[in-house]
Amino acid sequence: MSQIAISLKQPWATLLVHGLKTIEVRRWPTPRRGRILIHAARVPDARKEAWQHVPSHLQEAAKIGGGIIGAASLVECVSYADMAKFLTDRAKHLNEDSWFEPKLFGFVFEQPEALPFRRYSGWFKFFEVEVAAEPVTP
């Protein structure tokens, strides 16, 4: 059995699974909806602006990379064709104004959940993750 996952650099992955970030910005749109596993990439975001969003109680969690750390429901994909819309959602995606470029897309997530860390190789777009089947109770 498999589930779909998306990889985010840290600290963004931790911020998303703990509900502090609800929109992930990408350069490509998606029609995909539903429960998505959140993968923390092995290589973190080196920009200090990214790490300024991490509260002290999540500092250690945000250092974990190279595996699945949570899940959330992807409910919408919004278009950021102009700076005004991008700035309207800034509190949800946490990106700096200077990171804007035309034709960005925001993947809107709800119902985030932190899960026990599971080492797994990631990918730069959506990818399948093999998961153990739940035991069947008679």
Assign 7 a pLDDT band (cuts: 50, 70, 90).
Answer: very high
Mean pLDDT of the chain: 94
Check residue 99 and give its pLDDT.
93
pTM of the model: 0.92
- Is residue 107's pLDDT more than 70? yes
How much of the chain, in percent, has pLDDT values that exceed 90?
88
Let me know: does 14 contact 138? Beta carbons within 8 Å.
no
Q: Which of 53, 74, 71 is nearest to 117 (CA)?
A: 71
Q: And the tokens for 105?
A: 């897309």
Please check whether the domain covering 2-130 is classified as CATH 2.30.130.30: yes
For the chain, the domains span: 2-130
Check residue 138 and give its pLDDT.
53
